Structure 1
Amino acid sequence: MIFPAALLRDRVRTTALLATSLLVLAVLAPLPSGAAVREDTRAAAKSGSAREFSVATLNLRKGMRVPGMRHDIGRVIGGGATVIGFQERLFSRPALRASLPKSWSLLMPDGPTGTDDNPVAFDKDVWKLQRTWPVLLTGKTWRRQTGRTAHDQYGVVAVLRHRASGHVIRAVSFHLPNHLHNRRTGGPNFANRGGVEAMWRMAHRIRLLEAKTPEEHQFVAMCDCNVTADRDTTGLLLKGRIIKPAGLKSNYAVKGRGPGSGIDYVLAERGQDFRIKTYQSFTDLVTDHPGVVGTFVRRR
C-alpha cells in the first residue's frame, strides 16, 4: 500500500512524539532505592530458604593458612552451605575465625587439644543457636604413622533453629580413624586394631547423640569417615555401625579426587520434614579433600 506524503509525515511525527513521551516518563519515574532492592532480594531469599537449606563437610588439612581456608570455605558457601562441619582443625580458632565471613559463628570444642578437634560453623543470618556443648568422641584413639598413640578427639554439638522455616537440627562433626578397611574382606582392618576399636567407640557415641535427639529435631552429622562405599561390605564399619542403626541418609556415592577417595559425607536422620535431595562435590580446593554440600528440601 502506498501512503500519501502528508499522511506519511503525520504517522512519523506521531510515532516520534509517542517515543519521546515514553522516554520522559521512564526518566521521571522514581527508581527503587538500593535499600529497597536489597530488601526485595533478602525477602526473596528468605522465602526460598524456608523450603530448603544446605550443609557441608570440609576437612581442612593441618597447617593450612588463612588464604587457603578462606578459599575453600568460600567454595562450599558458594554451593549454598549455611552450616559447615570441619575436621582436623586442632588449635586454630583465630585462623579459622578469620577465614569465615563476618555473619558466621564458630563453635569450637572446649576439651584439651587432641588429634582432631571438629568445630561447627553456621550463618547467623540463617540459623539461631539454641544450645551447644562439647562432646568427647573417643578417649583412646589409634596409632598414627609415628607409631605413637594419638590424643583424645573432641567434637561440638550445635542445636540450630532455621530462622525462616523454624526447622531445628542437631549437628555434630567427626573424623574416623585412617586405614579401617580390609580390602580383601570389605570389613575392618584388624591389622590396625586400635583404629578399628576407636571407630567402634566413636560410632557408639554418635549413635547415643542421635538417640537422645528429640523427635522434633533432625540429627545431622558431617564427617571425614575414611570409609568408601565400594569397600564397606560388612556390618562392622560405617554402614553397619552408624548409618543403618541411626537411620541416616548419606551421600554414599559422591567421589573425591580419585578412585576410592569418596570418604567425606553429610549424614542426616530420615523421616523428617526436610530430606536430603542433592549433593555437590567441590574438588578445586587447597585442602586434599573434597568439600561436600548436601541440600535439604522440605517434603511436599
Structure 2
Amino acid sequence: MFSLPALPRVLARPTALLAATVLLTTGAAGGPPAQAREQDRASASAAASGPGKEFVVASLNLKKGMRVAGMRHDIGQVLDGEASVIGFQERLFSRPALRAALPKSWTLLMPKGPTGTDDNPIAFDKDVWELERTWAPLLTATTWRRYSGRIAHDQYGVAAVLRHRRSGHVIRAVSFHLPNHLHNRRTGGPNYANRRGVEAMWRMASRIRSIGQRAPEGHQLVAMCDCNVTANRDTTDHLVRGRITRPLRLETNYSADRHRRGSGIDYVMGERDSDFRIHSFHSYRNLVTDHPGIVATFRRAR
C-alpha cells in the first residue's frame, strides 16, 4: 500500500514556522517591521535629495552698523539651513568685514561702482557653484525718501549666473531691495502717499522681469529680496504679486509667517518652469539683524 512521506518537522509545528518568519522579517537587530520600513523610507528620501538633486538659497537683510561678529552669527544661522547661495540686502558696512564673516570656501560678489552698486551683494559656496557671469543692473534711477523729502541714490541689484557643479543646473540669481513705505496695509494696494516710491517700484519690477525674460532657456531665475510689502495683505496687481511674481511665474515663501497675520517682507523666489521647485522654506528669527533670514530648499521636480 502506497504511503505519503513524512512531513517536515517545521510544517508539523506552525508555531515554529511563525517564529522563523518573525526572525527573518525583523533581522539580526531584532527591530520591529515598522521600524525597518521607516528606515527604508528615510533611506529613499535621502537618495531622492542626494548630491545634485537639491540646492538651498537664503535671503538675509543686514542691519546698519553690524560688525563681523554679528554678521558671522547671522550667516551661521542660515548656513545651518545648508544654504549655498545668500542674497544680502542693506549691506551698509565695509566689504572686508562682510568677507571676514563668510566661510573660506565662499565668494562674495559685491561690485564696485556708483553709490548703491554694492548694497545687495550675493555670496555663494564655490565648492557647490561655478560662477559664469555677474553684473550690477540699474533697477531705477531715482526714488523718493518719503520722510526726508530727498531724492535717494540710484537703486541697483546684483545678478549672478551660477552653474551647480554636480547637477549642471544654472540659476540666474538676483538680489535687490524695493523702496520703503510702498504698501497700504488697509487697502492691500500701493501707498499713494509715497507715489514716487511706488512708481520707482514699478520701474524696478519691469527691470527684474527683463532680467528674467532675457535669460537663456534652461536658466532658472531665482530672486532674493527685502520687498517691503507685507505678506498676506498684498491683494492687488500693483505690488510684488502682480508686478513680479505673477508675470514671471515665480513661486515664493509669500506666506512665511502664517501664524502672524500681515508679517513677512523678505522673500526667496524661484521660477516655476524649471526642473527645480521650492520644496520647503524656513524663517530664522534669532538673529542680530532686525529681519528674519529666509532659507528655501529647491528640489528636483522632474
**Structure 1 match to 2:246:** 244
What is the aligned partner in structure 1 of residue 147 from structure 2? 145
Residue 160 of structure 1 and its aligned partner are, at CA, apart by 0.4
* Alignment RMSD (CA, Å): 2.0
SS in 2 for 1:174: strand
CA 1:279–1:295 in 2, change beyond 3 Å: closer, same or farther?
A: same
Query: What letter corresponds to residue 254 of structure 1 in structure 2?
Result: A
Shift of 1:74: 0.6
Q: How does 1:171-190 map to 2 (within 5 A)?
A: 171-190=173-192
Q: Distance in 2 between matches of 1:116 and 1:283?
A: 25
- Aligned counterpart for 2:298 among listed residues 275, 285, 296: 296
Give the partner amino acid of 2:208.
I
Residue equivalent to 1:273: 275
Structure 1 position 197 matched with structure 2 position 162: no
CA contact (8 A) 1:138 1:198 kept: yes
**Using the alignment, how far apart are the partners of 2:85 and 2:175 within structure 1?**
11
1:5-60 deviation per Cα after TM superposition (whole angstroms, max 9, x unaligned) = xxxxxxxxxxxxxxxxxxxxxxxxxxxxxxxxxxxxxxx99x82311110000000
- Does the CA-based 8 Å contact 2:89-2:175 persist in structure 1? yes
Q: Match for 1:77: what amino acid?
A: L
Structure 1 contact 188–236 (Cα < 8 Å) conserved = yes
Q: Which whole-Å deviations, capped at 9, do the CAs of 1:180-210 have from their partners, x for residues lacking one?
A: 1122321100000111011011101100001
Which position in structure 1 is the counterpart of 2:122? 120
Find the counterpart in structure 1 of residue 222 from structure 2: 220
1:131 partner amino acid? R
2:177 aligned with 1:167, yes or no? no
Other structure's SS at 2:188 match: coil
Which residue in 2 is equivalent to 1:49? 51
Number of aligned residues: 256
What is the deviation of 1:142?
2.2
- Give the corresponding residue for 2:67: 65
Instruction: Tell me by how many angstroms 1:137 deviates.
Output: 1.6
Instruction: Report the Cα offset of residue 257 of structure 1.
Output: 10
Aligned-partner Cα distance in 1 for 2:134–2:121: 11
Moved >4 Å (runs of 4+): 256-259
Residue in 1 aligned with 2:284?
A: 282
TM-score for both structures, normalised by structure 1 = 0.81
Residues in 2 aligned to 1:256 and 1:171: alpha-carbon distance in whole angstroms? 26
- Structure 1 residues 102 and 256 mapped into 2: Cα distance closer, same or farther (>3 Å)? farther
User: Which has the higher mean CA deviation after the structures are superposed, 257-266 or 234-243?
Assistant: 257-266
Which one of 91, 94, 99 corresponds to residue 92 of structure 1?
A: 94
C-alpha separation between the residues in 2 aligned to 1:151 and 1:144? 14
Is structure 2 residue 232 aligned with structure 1 residue 230? yes
Match of 1:7 in 2: none
1:222 to partner: Cα distance: 0.1
Alpha-carbon distance in structure 2 between the residues aligned to 1:131 and 1:256: 37
Give, in angstroms, the shift of residue 90 of structure 1: 3.6
Check conservation: 2:117, 2:157, Cα contact below 8 A.
no
Unaligned runs of 5+ in 2: 1-45
